[in-house]
Structure 1
Amino acid sequence: MAAVDDQTPRAQLTASPDGRVTIPAPLRRAAGIEPGRRLVAYVEDGRVVLEEWEHLLRRVQRRVIAATSGHSGSAADALIADRRAEAAHEDVSADATLAGRGAHGPDPA
């Protein structure tokens, strides 16, 4: 985890009764979060992490490319690599869809 300097915006947050947490504007600005931007939320090392959907997709694609680059296997191996990349893309899309639907649970009526 990167060190946090004294200039990094900080805030103490409290979850609302329905579990929602509002990210204050200074933190959103520092993170580059703009209205309408698609984010994926996940837990890593006990922390909630927000990441742009497109950034996560590029990261997964780079991992797949790195895992398959330099491989001089058969056409079947290339097809398998393509299918794995496609499956990774679908997993990210499904996660983003779940996050967009409010993975925190239904809103109380």
Structure 2
Amino acid sequence: MTDCLFCRMVTGEIPADVVHETDRTLAFRDINPQASTHVLVVPKAHHPTVVALAQADPDLLGAVVRAAGEVAVQEGLATEDGVEPGYRMVANTGPAAGQTVHHVHLHVLGGRDLGWPPG
């Protein structure tokens, strides 16, 4: 999709601060971070939402989640077992939830206490 911001980042047309990449995923720092660490993890293939991705390619959804976990470890938000000290993985779906780019992406947030409920 030529008008999709994240597709253009995947192709290198738009620069990104890439922190992790696999053959199927790309992870880069958010330009408007909401925590000390705020990384977006996207599939390289365009899918508008998590549900659309799960329906079209469940293996790719698994790859995105695995990449998010690897980013958390790499960024010091989790140990190899994926737990301590902790992080949040968020997928916004639709405008009412704050999704502004309609290419599925997971936010990996951490480096500060993340209260509950969010918002």
Give the TM-score taking structure 1 as reference length. 0.32
Higher strand proportion, which one? 2
Larger Rg: 1
